[in-house]
Amino acid sequence: MPSTVFWGSPRQTVIGPEETLPAKLDLILQKLNLRERVKGETVAIKMHTGNNIITSTIHPVFVRKVVKAVKEGGGKPFVTDLNWDAAGAEERGYSSETIGCPVYPASGPEEKYFYTHKRDFKNMKEWKVAGLIQDATFLINLSHIKGHPSCGFGGAFKNIALGCMVGETRSAMHDTVHFDKYWFADKCPDEAVRKKIIDSCPVGALVVDRKDPRELHLHTEPCMQCGRCLKVAPAGSLKIDPVNFLAFQEACAISTAITLSTFAPGKVTYISLATQMTPVCDCFGFTGMSILPDAGIFGSDDIVAIDRAALDCVAKLKLIDENMTASLRKFLWPDGHPFTRMHGPMKDPYKVTEYGEALGLGSRNYELVDVLPVDENAPPSRWFISAS
Ligand code: SF4
pLDDT at 243: 97
pLDDT at 110: 96
For residue 229, how far is its CA from the centre of ligand 1 (angstroms)?
A: 6
Distance CA 295, CA 310 (A): 8
pLDDT at 288: 85
Residue by residue, DSSP assigns 167-205 as HHHHHHHHHGGGTS--B-GGG---HHHHHHHHHH-TT--
What is the pLDDT confidence band of residue 386, given thresholds at 50, 70 and 90? low
Query: 181-240 maps to which CATH number?
Result: 3.30.70.20
What mean pLDDT is reported for the chain? Answer: 95
Query: 3-174+246-370 maps to which CATH number?
Result: 3.40.50
pLDDT tens for 348-376 read 999 999 999 999 999 999 999 999 999 98
Distance CA 10, CA 126 (A): 41
pLDDT at 286: 85
Q: Which atom of ligand 1 is nearest to the CA of 238?
A: 6
pLDDT, average across residues 92-121: 97
Q: Kindly state if the Cβ of 216 falls inside 6 Å of ligand 1.
A: no
- Does residue 87 carry a pLDDT above 60? yes
The answer to whether residues 138 and 267 touch, using CB atoms and an 8 Å cutoff, is yes
The best mutation among 223, 241, 332 to test binding of ligand 1, ranked by most ligand atoms within 8 Å of the C-beta, falls on 223
The answer to whether residues 333 and 341 touch, using CB atoms and an 8 Å cutoff, is yes
pLDDT at 283: 82
- Does residue 176 carry a pLDDT above 70? yes
pLDDT at 327: 87
pLDDT at 287: 85
For residue 318, how far is its CA from the centre of ligand 1 (angstroms)?
A: 25
Q: What percent of the chain has pLDDT over 70?
A: 98
pLDDT tens for 258-290 read 999 999 999 999 999 999 999 888 888 888 889
pLDDT at 158: 97
**270 pairs with which residues across the strands?**
141, 300
Residue nearest atom 3 in ligand 1 by C-alpha distance: 223
pLDDT, average across residues 194-222: 95
The answer to whether residues 302 and 366 touch, using CB atoms and an 8 Å cutoff, is yes
pLDDT, average across residues 85-104: 95
**Sequence spans of domains, the chain:** 3-174+246-370, 181-240
Distance CA 159, CA 306 (A): 13
pLDDT at 282: 85
Torsion angle, alpha carbons of 10, 44, 52, 176, to 10:
-100
pLDDT, average across residues 68-75: 98
Q: C-alpha angle with apex 47: 45 to 51, nearest 5 degrees?
A: 140
pLDDT tens for 210-220 read 999 999 999 99
- Does residue 388 carry a pLDDT above 60? no
